[in-house]
Amino acid sequence: MKKTIFLSALFISGFAFISRDKDNDPGEKNKQLAAKPIIIYTTALGTNFRLSTTDTLTFKDFGQPLETQPCIFVDPTKSFQTFMGIGGALTDASAETFAKLPKEKQQEFLQAYYHPTKGIGYTLARTNIHSCDFSSGSYTYVADGDKSLSSFSVDHDKQYRIPFIKQAIAAAGGKLTLFASPWSPPAWMKDNNTMLQGGKLKKEYYQTWANYYTRFIKAYEKEGIPVWGLTIQNEPMAKQTWESCIFTAEEERDFLKKYLGPTLKKDGLGNKKIIVWDHNRDLIYQRSSTLLDDPEAAKYAWGIGYHWYEDWSGADQVFENLKRVAERYPDKNLLFTEGCNGPFNMDSVNNWDLGERYGKSMINDFNNGTVGWTDWNVLLDEQGGPNHVKNFCFAPIHANTKSGELIYTNAYYYIGHFSKFIRPGAKRIISSASRSPLLTTAFKNSDGKTVVVVMNTASKEMPFHLWVAGKAAQTKALPHSIMTFVF
């Protein structure tokens, strides 16, 4: 017995010795960390900094910080969800506005969003299945009453939207993860006989409506636009003056497990990702539990989509609800599917809080388990449209269609502090602030680079140390700024 113990100890000791190479030795890692530069990119109120390279730092031995020394603590040894991308919606409104721009401005726009180094590197996109509020009018892809869908055609979209999406895909290097969402079934399928004002899908049209999704996917893919996934219904608990349709959680569950899921599978589209809910964070736990506690529904659901408009009630956004869902359903994905600022006012396009809302949401959403983040319209005109019910809002970039000018709001730059540096396949790691005005999240890219985003919500400068494994670099966050550290 003693001999066996001795040999085991010898083996363990030898293994420890063998594994202490340059990649695993903590001392060696600290030497490597100290030798690598930290590149800082900054966007700040009252300056010309817009995703600007503002400093290069190096780590130095630091050890235990004092309480009087604010820090951002980063721990790359613990990882969480895998990042899939950031992007925005390619709507009719965006496509129509894009078509009105001069060719050189169209190219500037495409590069600004989709080029990985000259732009902010969007890799994710959403589009609408027939019309939504950000269309010039209501329309569908079939003739009224055509239950067989024999008249189905996406010819309407060939004028603006399909060419626009194809150019965005090309600008992104030939690949863009695209998902689609319906705002309402055709009026004749609904109990209120209109695409607007809520209403419900009639039970006798559940199968017809499920078939409609597959027709859309196949039609778009025939046009050379791959569809990665879809949401079942945009904002299924909202009666709107525009295209809308009400589904209770039970109705959405039953539609998914009895109609949509099986239909996609039967039509050879079982690989398409289905996203449930697609509404605000307020009801997300109840909605998720009703759908995902049913094994027959859950097997078809890739994840849960959500928006940020729960503050319509006058209360704050409820980021913690995302964490509850991630804790309860760790095998499902959280995807931010829509958010925008509004109502639109051209006099407010330079307001700093437009971008700060994005920064606050993105940091909290990622820290609570979100894998991808999709803004609403990528481009709108000088009125915050077109929109056929005057529901005008802000986009990160606006176009003055009369002058051809592109207007970049600071929301574009705030989003870029994430999308330009955090790439698909990255893993979220721990980043923790010792002062509440500093918001932070961090990821490690598959190429080994660490990306730390720090947002200063205060009206005063905030000095701090970026601290990793007993080493730190001293820096400061300008008032109302966002910074990205890459090392």
Write the pLDDT tens digit of every residue in 70-82. 999 999 999 999 9
Confidence band of 261 (pLDDT split at 50, 70, 90): very high
pLDDT at residue 31, as a whole number = 63
User: Is residue 284 within 8 Å of residue 321, measured between CB atoms?
Assistant: yes
pLDDT at residue 27, as a whole number = 56
pLDDT at residue 16, as a whole number = 30
Active site residue 67: no
Bridging pattern class, strands 450-456 and 481-486: antiparallel
Q: Chain-wide mean pLDDT for the chain?
A: 94
pLDDT at residue 8, as a whole number = 32
C-alpha of 159 from chain center: 27
What is the pTM assigned to this prediction?
A: 0.93
Of 474, 460, 358, 452, nearest to 412 (Cα)?
Answer: 358
What DSSP letter does each residue of 212-266 carry, written as one string?
HHHHHHHHHHHTT----EEES-SSTT---SSB-----HHHHHHHIIIIIHHHHHH
Domain 26-81+429-486 has CATH 2.60.40.1180: yes
How many residues does the structure list for the chain? 487
Of 189, 182, 180, 183, nearest to 143 (Cα)?
Answer: 189
Asked if the domains 26-81+429-486 and 85-424 are classified in one and the same CATH topology, the answer is no
Active site residue 251: no
Domain 85-424 has CATH 3.40.50.720: no
In whole angstroms, how far apart are CA 311 and each of 24, 165, 244, 317, 366?
A: 47, 31, 20, 6, 19
Domains of the chain by residue range = 26-81+429-486, 85-424
Give the ranges where 336-479 is alpha helix by DSSP (H). 353-367, 410-419
Residue tagged active-site, from 96, 235, 243, 356: 235
Query: Does residue 164 have a pLDDT over 80?
Result: yes
Helix (H, G, I), strand (E, B) or coil at 177: strand
The pLDDT tens digits for 318-349 are 999 999 999 999 999 999 999 999 999 999 99
- Strands of the sheet containing 37-44, edge to edge, are 52-58, 37-44, 481-486, 450-456, 438-444, 427-433, 71-82, 462-468, 471-477, 60-61
Residue tagged active-site, from 96, 243, 338, 356: 338
